[in-house]
């Protein structure tokens, strides 16, 4: 070939194939970055969940301690001990002042006795 023929040779750049490769590369880069971002976000949420579960366990434990304290402080023995220790002007309730429903022991006083009442025969329907 002569020199003039060489000058007329043009090298074409295939723009369409380059754009396709750039688009595929960009899509892969976005997919990879999205994967890493979502993995990091899931790990952060896992750490938050682990901290919240630990706090919940601590709260359950302290709730059990408080319930045990309430049970011990509201027991009859503790209240009687506190009543005997501190004179608050309170006196114990006598047994003759207690009212018991459905007691098994029957007394001679039939008029003063509390008795359960049943309204089974009473109709609650309204007629117009």
Domain boundaries, the chain: 12-81
- pLDDT tens for each residue of 61-117: 999 999 999 998 888 888 888 877 876 666 777 777 777 776 555 555 555 555 655
Q: Of 110, 115, 119, which Cα lies nearest the Cα of 99?
A: 115
Compute φ and ψ for 112, nearest 5 degrees. -90, -5
- pLDDT tens for each residue of 30-68: 999 999 999 999 999 999 999 999 999 999 999 999 999
For residues 29 and 16, which has the higher predicted lDDT (pLDDT)? 29
- The pLDDT of residue 12 is 77
Contact (Cβ atoms closer than 8 angstroms) between residue 102 and residue 116: yes
- The pLDDT of residue 41 is 98
Rounded-to-10 torsion of CA 61, 65, 68, 73: -160
- The pLDDT of residue 31 is 98
- The pLDDT of residue 128 is 44
Burial of 116 (0-12, 13-18, 19+ CB in 10 A): exposed
What's the number of CA atoms in the CB half-sphere (13 Å) around residue 19?
4
């Amino acid at each position: 070939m002569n020199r003039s023929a060489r000058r007329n040779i043009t090298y074409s750049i295939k723009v369409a194939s380059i754009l396709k490769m750039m688009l595929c590369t960009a899509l892969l880069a976005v997919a990879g970055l999205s994967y890493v971002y979502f993995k990091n976000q899931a790990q952060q949420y896992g750490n938050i969940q682990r901290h919240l579960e630990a706090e919940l366990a601590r709260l359950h434990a302290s709730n059990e301690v408080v319930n045990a304290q309430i049970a011990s402080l509201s027991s009859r023995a503790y209240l009687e001990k506190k009543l005997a220790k501190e004179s608050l002007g309170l006196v114990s309730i006598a047994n003759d002042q207690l009212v018991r429903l459905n007691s098994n022991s029957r007394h001679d006083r039939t008029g003063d006795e509390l008795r359960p009442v049943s309204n089974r025969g009473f109709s609650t329907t309204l007629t117009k």
